Amino acid sequence: MTRTEKGEHICGRACLGPLTFHPRAVGKDITLSHGNLRASRDLETFQNGLVFSSRPIRVKEKVTVKVERTLRAWEGAMRVGFTNVCPTTGPLPSLAVPDLTSRPGYAALPVPTDDCTPGIMVTFWMASTGQLCFKTSTGKQGCEETSLNLSQPLWAIFDVYGQTTTILLLGSGRRHLFKRTLSCPIPHSTFECRYEKTPPPLQRRTEMTQKKLKEHPEVQRNNTPFTPGTSPEDLCVVCLVSEARLAPRCGHRCLCLPCANRVFAEFGTCPLCRQKL
């Protein structure tokens, strides 16, 4: 990267080019700002927060985002991943997991909630082995096998999900044998990293949902203790982190208690069979 005498950036051989969120592939509850580098989700929902990179990402190109704001009223946190499908191909679903990952050409994984607090930076990339990898500035890291085609374009997926409400795209970098290339530098931001206050309408909905849960004794009977070594099949289908301890009236044991609060308030139906709760 080079600069003019006035300090203006000019792309050179060491520059990967500009990288922003795609302005035409945005979840319905997302607002882009700061030159399409900041993505903020409506606080009254935990979903509809999908955004994508404005251009394809190279294999081993590491993309970094900063978690600027979170809301403790929700459970789970941001999801990150990649897709071979152009983001503007069709309408966007509510969630990256499982809405997108159940389709061919998509891969995403959740960032641990404890490692996705205000001020934390999350870096993720596609390894040459086909693994989707991530690491956080807290030292948390992990990889997951994917079936993505590395010979085809790969767009980055960001799901501003659950507790994560605002993220800032910091850019990307790729190491070569004797040098490192970077995306164009981003404008300086003075946006404050902090926890959000729960909006009054969401607080009222949560209180009403908790009241409804207490009115259904079958929910409490199915609230079994946590068992160490929980298999993926026993995880909550919403957050994919906690054990599914609750079964609605339909009998599908598929929710943890915090996610049950959200599902009851947002949908009022079982996430598996769509039967009314």
Per-residue pLDDT, 160:
98
What region does 274 belong to: left with phi over 0, alpha with psi -120 to 50, or beta?
A: left
Per-residue pLDDT, 205:
72
Per-residue pLDDT, 3:
54
User: Which two three-digit tokens encode residue 59?
Assistant: 């294999």
Q: Which residues contact 78 (CB under 8 A, 6 or more apart)?
A: 65, 67, 110, 111, 116, 122, 158, 159, 160, 161, 162, 164, 167
Q: Are 195 and 166 in contact (CB under 8 A)?
A: no
For helices 200-214 and 257-266, the axis angle rounded to 10 degrees is 110
Per-residue pLDDT, 277:
62
Residue 248 phi, psi (nearest 5): -65, -175
Per-residue pLDDT, 31:
98
Q: Could you tell me the CATH superfamily of domain 2-195?
A: SPRY domain (2.60.120.920)
In whole angstroms, what is the distance from residue 32 CA to residue 30 CA? 7
Per-residue pLDDT, 212:
60
Token match 């990339």: residue? 125
- Which residues of the chain, if any, have pLDDT below 70? 1-7, 209-233, 248-249, 265-267, 274-277
Per-residue pLDDT, 243:
80
Segment 71-106, tens digit of pLDDT: 998 888 999 999 999 999 889 999 999 899 999 999
Residues of the chain with CATH 2.60.120.920: 2-195
Per-residue pLDDT, 230:
54
